[in-house]
Amino acid sequence: MRFLIAGFGSIGRRHLRNLLELGEQDIILLRSGYSTLSIDEISNLPVVTSIDAALKHRPDAVIVATPTALHMDVAIPAALAGCHIFLEKPVAEDLRRVNELRAALQKGGGKAQVGFQFRFHPGLRQVKTWLESGSAGKTVAARAQWGEYLPGWHPWEDYRQGYAARRDLGGGVVRTLSHPLDYLRWLVGEVETIQALTGTLSGLELKVEDIAEIGLRFTNGALGSVHLNYVQRPPVHRLEVICTDGTILWDNADGAARLYSAKQGEWELSLIHI
Mean pLDDT of 71-82: 98
Last residue of a domain, one of 76, 91, 115: 115
**Regarding beta strands 236-243 and 139-147, do their DSSP bridges make them parallel or antiparallel, or are they unpaired?**
antiparallel
Q: Are residues 111 and 123 in the same domain?
A: no
Above 80 in pLDDT, residue 29? yes
Does 111 share its domain with 166?
A: no
Count structural domains, the chain: 2
Q: Identify the band that residue 185 occupies on the pLDDT scale cut at 50, 70 and 90.
A: very high
Which CB contacts under 8 angstroms, 24+ apart, belong to 128-136?
128/186, 128/187, 130/248, 130/257, 130/259, 131/187, 131/188, 131/241, 131/243, 131/248, 135/246, 135/259, 135/261, 136/241, 136/243, 136/244, 136/245, 136/246, 136/247, 136/248, 136/259, 136/260, 136/261, 136/262
pLDDT of residue 201: 97
Read off the pLDDT band of 40 (50, 70, 90). confident
| pLDDT the model gives residue 137 | 97
What integer best gives the mean pLDDT of the chain? 95
Assign 157 a pLDDT band (cuts: 50, 70, 90).
Answer: confident
Residues 72, 152, single domain; the answer is no
Per-residue pLDDT, 39: 78
The range of the structural domain enclosing residue 139 comes to 118-270
pLDDT computed for residue 272 by the predictor = 66
Looking at residue 83, which CATH number applies to its domain?
A: 3.40.50.720
The predicted structure's pLDDT at residue 273:
56
